[in-house]
Structure 1
Amino acid sequence: MAAMAKFSVLSLFCMLFVSLVVIIEAAPQSSLVTHLPGFNANFPSKHYSGYISIDGKNLFYYFVVSERNPASDPVVLWLNGGPGCSSFDGFVYEHGPFNFAEGKSKGALPVLHLNPYSWSKVSNIIYLDSPAGVGFSYSQNQTKYITGDIQTALDAYAFLLQWFQQFPEFQPNPLYISGESYAGVYVPTLASQIAKGINKGTKPTLNLKGYLVGNGVTDRRFDRNALVPFAHGMALISDKIFQEVVATCGTDLLNVPPSNRSLCHEKFQPLDRALDELNVYDILEPCYHGPGADNNKNSKENKTSSLPLSFQQLGKTTEKPLGVRKRMFGRAWPFRANIEDGIVPSWPQLAKTLDSSVPCINDEVATLWLNTPEVREAIHAQPESVTGPWELCTDRIRYSHDAGSMIPYHQNLTTQGYRALIYSGDHDMCVPYTGSEAWTASLGYKIVDEWRPWFSSDNQVAGYLQGYANSLTFLTIKGAGHTVAEYKPREALDFFQRFLGGKRI
């Protein structure tokens, strides 16, 4: 008996040891990133990247293990918007593990330095190129590039289920979905799919705790009506212009009376002229003009309109939105676009109909680095012959906004107990904070934390917030533009860390 008992104990010990080894080594070693061109030091944590195939679609991810405590820190999925823009935007320009400096000579690879404000300081973070056709994600069947809100959410959910099967050691960790701009649609639709899967008992069970949306597209009416009060509050238009627009057009620009539409268009002309030359993604920043661009602001090539075309076509059911100067046509669906059910043009598609495609922000560093064969090989991305060139935003996809307003999604998620942080750079004119503040208030939740300043880790006022029942928080970041962590990296890490940790911001 004693010998049998001893054998049983040893067997149990061996089983536990083997299980421990499996947990430690569960991450696929073939996906391990061992080096990156331009970086000549040790990684502060492990990096993995590769593809997960979903119904003929090969979705590319880059996973940065937490630099703090991988076993207990949350897993955060990051999504950039567009639709059609790569999440390497977030990786390169916002909160990835590196800061990228231009090479010393023209055409030289960027030099990478560790980012002291990387979100991997406090979380395990996955950067996902979604949907297929975006960034390094691709399909051999190009009909797969015809997609929309619902299909994108289903594919991203299927991706996560497979990803956690490949990385089972992270299944118990809290999971948060995050993103910005048109990811204001991606995030709540994906979170809703996850919540449905949890309720149905789908395996593996994802430990969803909440989500974060930055300067996010949400609802056609609130997004459209945000611009005029924003421009007025920021002293971009005079009180006279503001009063005349409101008196003529009202405050709901989707329902201008037919008798007022022509006059409303007329009253918008001074507003249009006032905003025309601004960087729509950060009104404090200049517009970047690429080499060879004609910087004469009176030239046709540099003229864009900040006026929604719908104001020029008031009463018509088909509206083709104007574009703006932006880093490779933009990372976001702009305030001037008509968010409604139907096909949503990508930025390059929009640019083909415009007089101008001058970007406001330089994306040359990311484009050079991610199109270098050695970089693609290091991160296990397929070569350009398979995926095409990496572009910040692509026109390969045909995307339909078929999920409607996001407000019912937010209501459903927050009343189920999922925590939500809706944050907004307060100098973004693309998806102004005024719209996000208005729609969060429209939910009618009880205010549990009255409007107040919040402070960064260096004890400065970093913005303002209002807390609601059902674990919903609306937060602004003072002086930040559309891509908050790009403009205010310290403050972004501060609120990110506190939100994930369940601490008071």
Structure 2
Amino acid sequence: MANFYFVLLHISLTFVLTQSAPRKSLITKLPGFNGSLPSKHYAGYVTVDEHHGKNLYYYFVESEGNSSKDPVVLWLNGGPGCSSFDGFVYEHGPFNFEKPVTKEALPKLHVNPYSWSKVSNVIYLDSPVGVGFSYSKNVSDYNTGDAKTASDTHTFLLRWFELYPEFLANPLFIAGESYAGVYVPTLADKIVQGIEAETKPKLNFKGYLVGNPVADEIFDGNALVPFAHGMGLISDETFEVKLRYLTDTTKECNGTFYETSSVKCENLLNKIEQVIQNIDIYNILEPCYHNGGEEENKKSDSKLPLSFRQLGKTEKSLPVRKRMFGRAWPYKAIVRDGYVPSWPQLTSNSNSGPPCVDDEVANVWLNNHKVRKAIHTVKKNVIPRWNLCTGQLKYIHDLGSMIPYHKKLTSKGYRALIYSGDHDMCVPFTGTEAWTRSIGYKIVDEWRSWSVNDQVAGFIQGYANNFTFLTVKGSGHTVPEYKPQESLYFYQHFINGLPI
């Protein structure tokens, strides 16, 4: 009998050891951070196509709360072509990064009190293949698009949960921002299709949230001009008379600003672009620099009024990233005729990120050989250098408007939160508010303010079918970067099904 129980114990222990996170993926220490990590971290690759050698890289942060029960959230940055380490380093990752004094030194890492890992398990995924540390042995895989990205990411999730089966019962949410406004609903649709087809493993998918999301070329493309007018960036005369309400037969733009066959309208739109070109499109309140180096930027800082020097200031060691001159008409540049050009074609400066973004701290840290070894990336002969946003993709926007996806998903009972920093001119809230309203759901929570620490943090409108639109007051394109405390508040409430 004793031998019988010994065999049962052996079988049970074997089952536990084989049904837990892979040891080789565990991160034991991180250069730049002193002390024990605030929770368990894992990183590595999941092969989504063995024949091509297509590998997606992930960094997984266990919840600092109850990791066995807290939701699992997949985070996707946009671009298309930008690494989700953007979210990890600059937005809601477990650390705040302190910029080093010398260029040779590594940033210092401090615990982030507003990390989303305080209340959830978070997977930061470099997607599609070719982004960040993800790679394929067949370079033809860098020609991709919406449909293939959604399919690959769904395959990633299924195989990831096979590696981490202890999290399979946890609620699953998908989150992202910017062009992830396409990634998230299309991936959610693939997940739901898999659930309905009884694909194994069965994912416990509950819903999704997207910030300042690309959704529809007409709503998003037409949003910039009314936003700029409402924010006082273009005059009444330009907006009301020349663009919208000319009473004679010329009617230059007639309220349509994304595509036009009118030469006069195109000339007016070009003039508007010239007027607003020196403003930071990611947050119109932020100072904007014009291709100057670091020393020049410091000099510019000293000339700014104190109120401007305080803009974007948070409790983080690393302040909101400085922006430099970029395109003022982002949506027309990002999506035209379905083709999304690579980032170097969009930038007016030489860095590797999207227009106006200073990604120096992330570049220094993630390209350090000790860091790369610690987080289990592929060797440098495969990926010589990590870039915030890659220029090697040829990406096709091949799935059209996201509005039908949102309606399909929410009508099936999946929860959705669409949030917008209200000072973003890249994907303005005006377009997002319009398309969320266009779905036609009944309003169940009429437009009202929501607050954090007795201060109004933004405004919210709730629709039937658990579909919610929310603004974040004073925030730019990357909401958790500008408003970390407010972001953690609405994030925690949403994933736990609590009223905001």
Does the aligned pair in 2 maintain the 1:348–1:393 contact within 8 Å? no
Are 1:83 and 2:80 matched, yes or no? Answer: yes
* Matched residue, 2:103: 106
* CA–CA distance in structure 2, aligned partners of residues 496 and 328 of structure 1: 31
* CA–CA distance in structure 2, aligned partners of residues 382 and 338 of structure 1: 30
CA apart distance, 1:106 = 2.6
Structure 2 alignment gaps of length 5 or more: 246-251, 298-321
Does the aligned pair in 2 maintain the 1:182–1:333 contact within 8 Å? no
User: Which of 410, 418, 423 pairs up with 2:419?
Assistant: 423
CA apart distance, 1:252 = 2.4
Does the aligned pair in 2 maintain the 1:179–1:213 contact within 8 Å? yes
Task: Report the secondary structure of 1:385's partner residue.
Answer: coil
CA apart distance, 1:430 = 0.2
* CA–CA distance in structure 2, aligned partners of residues 227 and 148 of structure 1: 25
Decide whether aligned partners of structure 1 residues 95 and 292 sit closer, same or farther in structure 2, where only a CA change above 3 A counts.
closer
Question: What code does the residue aligned with 2:132 have?
Answer: G
User: Which of 156, 165, 170 pairs up with 1:173?
Assistant: 170
Are 1:498 and 2:493 matched, yes or no? Answer: yes
Does the aligned pair in 2 maintain the 1:287–1:361 contact within 8 Å? no
Deviations 1:355-378 (A, max 9, x none): 987953321000111011110000
* Matched residue, 1:459: 454
* Matched residue, 2:441: 445
* Matched residue, 2:308: none
* CA–CA distance in structure 2, aligned partners of residues 184 and 88 of structure 1: 17
Structure 1 alignment gaps of length 5 or more: 296-324
Are 1:228 and 2:222 matched, yes or no? Answer: no
* Matched residue, 1:147: 144
* Matched residue, 2:36: 42
Question: What code does the residue aligned with 1:426 have?
Answer: D
CA apart distance, 1:255 = 6.0
Question: What code does the residue aligned with 1:283 have?
Answer: I
Select between 153-162 and 377-386 the one with higher mean Cα deviation.
377-386
CA apart distance, 1:242 = 1.3
* CA–CA distance in structure 1, aligned partners of residues 111 and 325 of structure 2: 26
User: Which of 119, 122, 134 pairs up with 1:137?
Assistant: 134
Counterpart mapping for 1:320-339 below 5 A: 334-337=330-333, 339=335
CA apart distance, 1:245 = 1.6
User: Which of 203, 219, 244 pairs up with 1:246?
Assistant: 244
User: How much identity, in percent, do the aligned residues show?
Assistant: 59
Question: What code does the residue aligned with 1:453 have?
Answer: S
CA apart distance, 1:326 = 5.9
* Matched residue, 1:197: 194
CA apart distance, 1:269 = 4.6
Deviations 1:196-239 (A, max 9, x none): 00000000000110001100100010010101111111111121
* Matched residue, 2:248: none
Decide whether aligned partners of structure 1 residues 327 and 171 sit closer, same or farther in structure 2, where only a CA change above 3 A counts.
farther
Does the aligned pair in 2 maintain the 1:341–1:402 contact within 8 Å? no
* CA–CA distance in structure 1, aligned partners of residues 107 and 120 of structure 2: 26
Does the aligned pair in 1 maintain the 2:153–2:187 contact within 8 Å? yes
Deviations 1:270-314 (A, max 9, x none): 42232110001111112244527988xxxxxxxxxxxxxxxxxxx
* CA–CA distance in structure 2, aligned partners of residues 281 and 406 of structure 1: 22
CA apart distance, 1:432 = 0.3
* Matched residue, 1:317: none
Counterpart mapping for 1:104-503 below 5 A: 104-243=101-240, 244-247=242-245, 248-254=252-258, 256=260, 258=261, 261-288=262-289, 289-291=291-293, 334-337=330-333, 339=335, 342-351=338-347, 359-456=355-452, 458-503=453-498
Does the aligned pair in 1 maintain the 2:154–2:187 contact within 8 Å? yes
CA apart distance, 1:140 = 1.6
How does the TM-score come out when normalised to structure 1? 0.87
* CA–CA distance in structure 2, aligned partners of residues 381 and 111 of structure 1: 20
Task: Report the secondary structure of 1:112's partner residue.
Answer: strand
* CA–CA distance in structure 2, aligned partners of residues 12 and 494 of structure 1: 49
Does the aligned pair in 2 maintain the 1:241–1:270 contact within 8 Å? no
Task: Report the secondary structure of 1:127's partner residue.
Answer: strand
Task: Report the secondary structure of 2:331's partner residue.
Answer: coil
CA apart distance, 1:7 = 9.0
Question: What code does the residue aligned with 1:200 have?
Answer: A
Decide whether aligned partners of structure 1 residues 387 and 208 sit closer, same or farther in structure 2, where only a CA change above 3 A counts.
same
Task: Report the secondary structure of 1:54's partner residue.
Answer: strand
Question: What code does the residue aligned with 1:162 have?
Answer: R
CA apart distance, 1:12 = 10
Does the aligned pair in 1 maintain the 2:346–2:355 contact within 8 Å? no
* CA–CA distance in structure 1, aligned partners of residues 28 and 377 of structure 2: 14
